Amino acid sequence: MPVMGRNQSAQALQVRGRLFLIDCGEGTQYAMVDRHIPMMKLDSIFISHIHGDHVFGIFGLLSTLGMKGRQTPLNIFAPASFGPILKFFLSYYGDGVGFEIRFTPLKMKQPEVILETKSLEVRAFPLRHGIETFGFHFAEKEPQFNVHKEAISRYGLSLTEIGSLKRGEDVIREDGSRISLAYAAYRPYEPSSYAYCSDTAPFPELPQWIKGTTVLYHEATYLESFASLAAERGHSTTLQAARTAAEAGVRRLLIGHYSSREKDTSLYLKECRSVFPDTSATNDGDVFEF
């Protein structure tokens, strides 16, 4: 339900210069404009399910991209049930969309790779929410090593030797001498990962599917006192979200998707931290870097 100061589900995720949108609830394009998120640079949109609070903003966003003159194709990954919605939009408003929309219907029963780039792998996996719903896992790939410039001159490295170091290998020369990777090269960054799990009731496989994730966003629609209502509606409580994070061994937990009956998010935070201390309760406009 609408709550003043609390927009509906939408997250912008930036990975190595690429911009992704996860869900597109009502008012998403206004939130992007307000927070200076460049919608024209969107690479892909990921829709978890077709409940209105996760998808009612998509018509406005696509129309605005068309009016702004976007030419670059746009990927949309969503449940197959989104197909008729997209067809309806294009049948009435498609003349204003001058770019290709590449829709990929999600049908998997186990985690599957749905998008892969040089530096990133995105997997989708089924959630449990009464209708067809999917979560998403974004994982940076291990980057190649960078070779220290001073090492190139110090050791007189050949192109072949530089290639070996970039692959993470020590250099063994014909005279038996060794140039250690630890001294000659370095990783430019440690790869991070992000999992988005909303909306869903807890289920046994989920912690294994997101094992070791750097940051997990997990819905926590209800306080623990409403556990029976959460089960009835296919949602999670605070403690269920926290237990999933703990079992999965994630580094940090973000919670959101609060029930409209609760205005004080500190109540959610307190309950989650009793199980998983490194929890943050998200609010509109929050920015997390990892």
User: What's the pLDDT at 175?
Assistant: 92
Q: How do residues 69-102 score in pLDDT, each as one tens digit?
A: 999 999 999 999 999 999 999 999 999 999 999 9
Q: In whole angstroms, what is the distance from residue 92 CA to residue 76 CA?
A: 19
Tokens representing 166?
């970039």
- For residue 155, name the pLDDT band (cuts at 50, 70, 90): very high
- For residue 49, name the pLDDT band (cuts at 50, 70, 90): very high
What residues have CB less than 8 Å from 167, skipping those under 6 apart? 144, 145
Q: Residue 264: is it exposed, middle or buried by C-beta count within 10 angstroms (0-12/13-18/19+)?
A: exposed
Tokens representing 225?
């006192």
Tokens representing 251?
């580094």
Instruction: Tell whether omega for the bond before 199 is within 30 degrees of 0, i.e. cis.
Output: yes
Residue ranges of the chain that CATH labels 3.60.15.10 = 7-107, 192-283
- For residue 35, name the pLDDT band (cuts at 50, 70, 90): very high
- For residue 5, name the pLDDT band (cuts at 50, 70, 90): confident
**29 has pLDDT over 90:** yes
Closest alpha carbon to 6 in 287, 265, 259, 284: 284
Q: What is the mean pLDDT of residues 112-122?
A: 96
User: What's the pLDDT at 4?
Assistant: 86
Q: What is the mean pLDDT of residues 170-193?
A: 93
User: What's the pLDDT at 178?
Assistant: 94
Asked if residues 136 and 44 have their Cβ atoms less than 8 Å apart, the reply is: no
User: What's the pLDDT at 255?
Assistant: 98
Q: What is the mean pLDDT of residues 172-189?
A: 92
- For residue 68, name the pLDDT band (cuts at 50, 70, 90): very high
- For residue 1, name the pLDDT band (cuts at 50, 70, 90): confident
Q: What is the mean pLDDT of residues 4-20?
A: 94
Q: How do residues 264-273 score in pLDDT, each as one tens digit?
A: 999 999 999 9
Domain at 192-283, CATH from 1.10.3720.10, 3.60.15.10, 3.90.76.10, 3.30.750.24: 3.60.15.10
Whether 278 sits among the annotated catalytic residues: the reply is no
Closest alpha carbon to 138 in 258, 21, 25: 21
- For residue 278, name the pLDDT band (cuts at 50, 70, 90): very high
How many percent of the chain have pLDDT more than 90? 96
**Spatial strand order in the sheet of 74-79:** 11-15, 18-22, 42-46, 74-79, 101-106
What CATH class has 7-107? alpha beta
pTM flag (> 0.75):
yes
Q: Choosing from 23, 43, 53, 199, which is the catalytic residue?
A: 53
- For residue 20, name the pLDDT band (cuts at 50, 70, 90): very high
Q: Is the dihedral of CA 289, 234, 284, 53 positive or negative?
A: positive
- For residue 213, name the pLDDT band (cuts at 50, 70, 90): very high
Q: In whole angstroms, what is the distance from residue 125 CA to residue 42 CA?
A: 22
**44 has pLDDT over 90:** yes
User: What's the pLDDT at 170?
Assistant: 94
Average pLDDT value over all residues in the chain: 96
Q: 256 has which bridge partners?
A: 219
The structure tokens 């969503």 sit at 78
Asked if residues 44 and 75 have their Cβ atoms less than 8 Å apart, the reply is: yes
**DSSP per-residue codes, 127-175:** --BSB--EEEEEEEPPPPPEEPHHHHHHHT--HHHHHHHHTT--EE-TT
**2 has pLDDT over 90:** no
